[in-house]
Amino acid sequence: MPRLPAAPLHHPRRTLAAAAAGAGLLGLGVAWLGREDTLARLQRAGQLRAGYAVEAPYAVVLPDGSVGGESPRTLRHVAARLGLDRIDWLQLPFEGLIDALRARRVDVVSAGLFVTPARAARVRFADPTLRVRAGLLRRRSAQPPPAAYADLARPGAGRIAALQGSVEQERLATAGLPAAALLAVPDALAARAALHNGAAAAFAISLPAARMLAMGDAGLEALAIAAGPGLADDWVASAFHPDDASLQRAWNTAQAGWVGSAEHLALVQGYGFEAADLATGVTLAQVLGR
């Protein structure tokens, strides 16, 4: 958006009260424009600050140091449609993503963030791009796989890892997992290390993430699991500051018709996603039941 003009205030010297009132109204106007014109400001700069947490296949750091994964690739494509060709990436712990967004340290979060009513009260989600089932990563075993989170809460199931602040962490607690049996980790790499060193028996994560982490690791296996009774699929979406309605609307327009397309699938299938995983034609209002 164009930067707000910093026009000098050449008010006639009428009264101090009138000048103060005028300055106050101008200040309110500038603040209002700043909230409403985030998109135009970003487009003028041609730059977008994006927050992410390392969680394959949603966001990964490639060998050359660049950021890859489903969410960053999707973000780059949609951002380019809005004229935002330069992305500045900020790696954060998963539990710090929303706080960084609300503090305006970043303009968007692109990290496989699930849409939930609680999160939707704190951020402004775009329409979803992915549909995700619950999964589990564990050391390869001949033991029968657990069917649901409730099985992980039973005595003797071992310690279960989950990302700090994640939906999985909340659902494990709801399923009855004692706090002492939960290992909260900052990212998926820490969880995988915990599996290998015996600090955790399993890692509760989305099924695509579990599959990605198990690739090329003969000691680990990915399983589908029921998160809980009555819980449907989860939905992944980009998230914006609560005040950035214009940016959210433009983002939705830019990705409308592209989500679920052959081009979208080609962009993300290298990370283990299939056509059935794409949120074709699904809106945020539908996900939240509004």
Please list, in sequence order, all residues whose beta carbon lies within 8 angstroms of the beta carbon of residue 45, skipping any fewer than 6 positions away: none
Same domain, 140 and 178: yes
- Which parts of 45-144 are beta strand (E)? 47-52, 60-61, 67-68, 86-91, 108-109, 124-125, 130-132, 134-139
Residue 251's alpha-carbon distances to 217, 232, 241, in angstroms, are 37, 26, 13
Secondary structure letter of residue 95 according to DSSP: G
Where residue 218 sits, what CATH number does that domain have?
A: 3.40.190.10
Of 224, 253, 275, the last residue of a domain is 224
Same domain, 52 and 68: yes
Same domain, 197 and 277: no
Please list, in sequence order, all residues whose beta carbon lies within 8 angstroms of the beta carbon of residue 198, skipping any fewer than 6 positions away: none
d(Cα 227, Cα 234) in Å, to the nearest integer? 10
DSSP secondary structure string, 144-189? Answer: PPP-BHHHHTSTTS--EEEETT-HHHHHHHHTT--GGGEEEESSHH
Q: What is the pLDDT of residues 220-275, one digit of tens each?
A: 999 999 877 656 688 999 999 999 999 999 999 999 999 999 999 999 998 889 89
Secondary structure letter of residue 198 according to DSSP: T
Same domain, 240 and 119: yes
Q: What is the pLDDT of residues 142-160, one digit of tens each?
A: 888 999 999 999 998 999 9
Tally of structural domains, the chain: 2
Same domain, 83 and 104: yes
pTM of the model: 0.73
Q: Domain of 73?
A: 40-131+236-288
Identify whether 89 is part of a domain.
yes
